[in-house]
Structure 1
Amino acid sequence: MSKSVVETLLGGALKRITNHELHSNTYLLADPQQSGACVVVDPGLDRERVEAAIADSGWTPMAVLCTHGHFDHVGSTAALQERFGVPVYLRAQDQKTAKLSNFLMAAFKIKARIALPEFTLLADDGASVDVAGRHFTFHALPGHTPGSAGIEVDGLLFSGDSLYARRTALSKLPGEDHDQLRASLKALFAWIPGDTLVLPGHGGTATIDQIHAGNEELRAFMAAAVPA
């Protein structure tokens, strides 16, 4: 499998898979104790590519974590749940978004259709999951979708489509609220350490400090006036 498809980060503990459809990122994060367990974050539409990366890693998934419910981030969840018998975590506010997956795929002229897993729904901001030797916290980041989350773990933030390294993730998809997203990011930036490594749903990685310094599109978005 080429490096353009799977990239190894953090000394081998993290693998990023680039899905073909919409170039979304799927991540595998291994147990720090090297038990062979891992979690899968945002498994996209390329099920075979994701499963091949898991097989190549030699790790065994213990859970699937979803930053939000868009089809390019939950596309392989049902297949992984069936194959590995694992829970799939999603903030409850995004269950409706996930249920719109096949409708949105048709709107994007994507011929494939997906099944959805039995989600384990997280109702509260700051809900946490302990799995594969790590403590994951789901911080509410509504705006891109109503139930978007930033999943924080060990100096990392899986940010989904709420925060990118070098641009913004603005669109006109159902449920997106730019003013709410701006407020969510402002609240996030108020507490998150600058050396936190952001792992976005699309594109490359960067620390919070690097994003502040180099993401001009995001700076312009954050500076925009909120309508009265």
Structure 2
Amino acid sequence: MKTEAVELLLNGALRRITNTDLHSNTYLLADAQQSGSCVVVDPGLDHERVAETIADSGWTPTAILCTHGHFDHVGGTAVLQQRYGIPVYLRSADLKLAKLSNFMMAAFKLKARIALPEFTLLPDDGAVVEVIGRRFTFHALPGHTPGSAGIAVDGLLFSGDSLYARRTALSKLPGEDHDQLRASLRQLFGWIAGDVLVLPGHGGTATIDEIHAGNEALRAFMSAAMPA
């Protein structure tokens, strides 16, 4: 594992909240200078639990970063934006999907409904957001959704629902394209270092090397033939 990632874990600069509905992960990452600011990655539907963790940390959010536009990853964005007056970053290709959040929540038989924030929309691959003394690069990973991204920073990769540690990120949700996801992951695996720590949208963490070695379901998915 990269030294940067080890330091983030050891000094308590990284926190994970597992939301009650659909068990999606929300992450807090503190600033590099330890001045008390942080970013929030993928605030889910359990915004009260997220807010409690923020209060417990003593940090003040300065930005929200979204790996993709599904409701269980953007559900808490509007509440946090209103409370802290901060930007919410999302790749533009997923705006349409985010606007379908309440429709999809009804389809999942969830009683709650959400408001959407004012998104700051990011362009295609390579968009960079510099906040809290860190440089966050949004690498396009279309497939799970058209605008899915892997957000890379300091030896970490917030992978959303494009890459999990111990299983595959497959579903039958609107806009998902398994062939495109396979191509996106092959491209990712072509350049990313094996010691990068992956922080998925659901489930536990693992390094890229650990995923290659132990994720048999992903290995089977990746070995499937691409369309001619």
Distance 1:179 1:14 in 2: 33
- 1:69-127 CA-to-partner distances (Å, cap 9, x unmatched) read 00000000000000000000000000011001001000000000000000000012110
Tell me the residue number matched to 1:27: 27
User: What does residue range 122-141 of structure 1 map to in structure 2 within 5 Å?
Assistant: 122-141=122-141
In the TM superposition, what are the counterparts of 1:146-225 in structure 2 within 5 Å? 146-225=146-225
Question: What is aligned with 2:60?
Answer: 60
TM-aligned CA deviation for residue 10 of structure 1: 4.1
Matches for 1:67-86 after TM superposition, within 5 Å:
67-86=67-86
Structure 2 unaligned runs (5+)? 1-7
SS in 2 for 1:204: coil
- The residue that corresponds to 2:5 in the other structure is none
Structure with greater contact order relative to length (CA < 8 Å, sep ≥ 6): 2
CA distance in 1, matches of 2:194, 2:168: 18
Q: Which whole-Å deviations, capped at 9, do the CAs of 1:17-53 have from their partners, x for residues lacking one?
A: 0000000000000012100000000000001000000
| Paired residue secondary structure (2:150) | strand
TM-score normalised to the size of structure 2?
0.96
Q: How does 1:40-55 map to 2 (within 5 A)?
A: 40-55=40-55
Structure-2 residue corresponding to 1:3: none
Amino acid at match of 2:87: P
CA distance in 2, matches of 1:208, 1:42: 21
Matching residue's letter, 1:71? F
TM, length-normalised to structure 1: 0.96
Secondary structure (helix, strand or coil) at the match of 1:40 reads strand
Instruction: Describe the SS at the equivalent of 1:23.
Output: coil
Contact 1:9 1:16 in 2 (8 A): no
Q: Supply the distance in 2 between the matched residues of 1:100 and 1:67 (Cα, whole angstroms).
A: 16
Residue 101 (structure 1) aligns with? 101
Unpaired runs of at least 5, structure 1? 1-7
How many residues get paired? 221
